[in-house]
Amino acid sequence: MGIIRPLDEHLANQIAAGEVVERPASVLKELIENAVDAGASRIDVSAEEGGLALLRIADDGTGIEADDMLVAFQRHATSKIATGKDLFQIATLGFRGEALPSIAAVAKIKCVSSTDNSGLGRCVEIEGGALVANKEINAPKGTEMVVRDLFFNTPARLKYMKTIQTELGHLSDVVYRQALARPDIAFTFTHNGNLLLRTPGNGDLRQVVAAIYGTSSAKATIALQAEHPDYSLTGVTALPSETRANRGAVTVLVNGRYVRSQAVMQPLLQAYHTLLPLHRYPLAVLRLTMHPTLVDVNVHPAKLEVRFSKENELRSFVEQAVKEALGGRAHIPSGAATR
C-alpha cells in the first residue's frame, strides 16, 4: 500500500503561512494590499505591541459579499485572476489567494465586511484555522480585519520575533511604502495609541513625502517626469544636498507595487555619479509604469522581487531620466568624495 497522501487543508495552510507570514509586517503588507485592491480611498491601520498583539486594518473599499466571506479564507481562492493568461498581466497587488488562509492559520482573525450602505454586514472569526463565528453584524461599507495574537499556535515562530521596536520599524516601513505608492489614498497609522502617520489622500506625492520624511526633506526634492515607448517615470528625487546614510529612503514602485530592484536602484545612483558623497544615498520615490507583460511579479511569495523583460533598456531609461531631472539643479556638495 502506498504511503503518499495529500496534506489536509489546515496543515497545508500552516506550511504556506511559513512562507507568506514571516512577521507582523508581512501580515500588514498583505492586508493593506487587499484594501488597495478593493479600491479603498481611506485605509486606517492600528497596531499594538509591534503588531504581535494586534493589527487592525479598516478600509472603505468594495467589501466582501456575505456568500464569499468563507471562500476568501480558502486556499488559492481569489477574485483577482481566473485564467493562466491573467497571470502574465497582473494589474492587482494580490493574486495568489494565499494571504487570508495563511494568516488565519497562525493567528486569531476577525473579518467584518459589507458591500453596501445598508448598515448590515457579515462577521467571520477564525482562530488557528478553526471557524469560531460567522454571523450578521452592523457594519459600514468596506472591510475591517483584526488580527490578534500572531503565532499563538506556532511558538517556534513566535520565539524568533525581535523587539517591539524592531517589529514596529518593519510595520512603519510597510505603511510608508504603500502611502508613497498611493498618494490618492488617505492613510493613518497608529501604534499603541500614538498617531505615527496621516496622509491627506489628495494625490500629492510631495505631501506624503513631507508626512513621512519631514517638510524640509520634501522641499529638497525635485520632480521626475519622463516618457519612453515602454515605460513612464514620475516621482521625486532629492537634491544632492539631501542625502542619507543608507538606501532605505529610496522607494521603487513598479505599476504601484513596492519592489526591491537593483535594476532600478543602480541606475538611480549612477545618475548622481559624483554628486553624492561616498556612502551617501538620495531620498527618492521612483514610480515606474509599464505594460504588465514587461514585468514578472510572480517570482517570490512576498512579491518583493520582480523580473523585467527588457532590463537594459529600463536601466538606461532610469539613469537618463534622473540625470536630466538633476541637470543644472545639481551641485557638488562641499566635502564630496569622488568615486
Q: Which residues bind ligand ADP (CB under 6 A)?
A: 30, 34-35, 38, 59, 61-64, 72, 77-80, 94-100, 143
**Smallest separation (angstroms) from Mg ion to the CB of 145:** 11
Query: Quick one: angle between helices 24-37 and 164-181, nearest 10?
Result: 20
**Smallest separation (angstroms) from Mg ion to the CB of 317:** 30
Task: Report what 78 binds from Mg ion, ligand ADP, none; CB cut-off 5-8 Å by kind.
Answer: ligand ADP
**Smallest separation (angstroms) from ligand ADP to the CB of 303:** 10
Task: Report what 12 binds from ligand ADP, Mg ion, none; CB cut-off 5-8 Å by kind.
Answer: none
Q: Which CB, 29 or 177, lies closer to ligand ADP?
A: 29
63 lies in the site for Mg ion, by CB under 5 A: no
Q: Could you tell me if 158 and 113 are in contact, meaning their C-beta atoms sit under 8 angstroms apart?
A: no
State which of residues 24, 50, 61, 94 lies at the interface with Mg ion (CB under 5 A).
94
* Terminal C-alpha separation, the chain: 67
| Residue 322 exposure: Cα atoms within 13 Å on the Cβ side | 30
State which of residues 13, 34, 114, 221 lies at the interface with Mg ion (CB under 5 A).
34
Distance, CA of 119 to CA of 139 (rounded, Å): 5
78 lies in the site for Mg ion, by CB under 5 A: no
Residues binding Mg ion: number (CB under 5 A):
3
**Smallest separation (angstroms) from ligand ADP to the CB of 105:** 12
Q: Which CB, 99 or 208, lies closer to Mg ion?
A: 99
28 lies in the site for Mg ion, by CB under 5 A: no
Q: Which CB, 34 or 114, lies closer to Mg ion?
A: 34
**Which amino acid appears at position 272 of this protein?**
Y
Which residue's C-alpha cell is 494565499?
98
Which residue's C-alpha cell is 508613497?
180
**Smallest separation (angstroms) from Mg ion to the CB of 205:** 24
State which of residues 16, 99, 253, 275 lies at the interface with Mg ion (CB under 5 A).
99
Question: Which residue of the chain is nearest Mg ion when measured via CB?
Answer: 94
Give the CA angle between residues 161, 194, 27 to the nearest 5°: 35
Distance, CA of 285 to CA of 180 (rounded, Å): 7
Helices and strands (H, E) in the chain, number of each type: 9, 17
User: Length of the chain, please?
Assistant: 339
Q: Which CB, 186 or 325, lies closer to ligand ADP?
A: 186
Q: Could you tell me if 145 and 44 are in contact, meaning their C-beta atoms sit under 8 angstroms apart?
A: no
Distance, CA of 315 to CA of 320 (rounded, Å): 9
Distance, CA of 28 to CA of 109 (rounded, Å): 12
**Smallest separation (angstroms) from ligand ADP to the CB of 95:** 5
Task: Report what 235 binds from Mg ion, ligand ADP, none; CB cut-off 5-8 Å by kind.
Answer: none
Task: Report what 97 binds from Mg ion, ligand ADP, none; CB cut-off 5-8 Å by kind.
Answer: ligand ADP
**Smallest separation (angstroms) from ligand ADP to the CB of 250:** 26
**Smallest separation (angstroms) from ligand ADP to the CB of 185:** 13
Distance, CA of 235 to CA of 264 (rounded, Å): 13
Mark residues 106-145: x for contact with Mg ion by CB under 5 A, - for none: ----------------------------------------
Distance, CA of 51 to CA of 28 (rounded, Å): 8
Task: Report what 96 binds from ligand ADP, Mg ion, none; CB cut-off 5-8 Å by kind.
Answer: ligand ADP
- DSSP-assigned states of every residue in 126-170: EETTEEEEEEEEE--SEEEEEEESTTTT-HHHHHT---HHHHHHH
- DSSP-assigned states of every residue in 88-124: GS--SS--SS-HHHHHHHSSEEEEEEESSSSSEEEEE
Interaction site with Mg ion (CB under 5 A)? 34, 94, 99
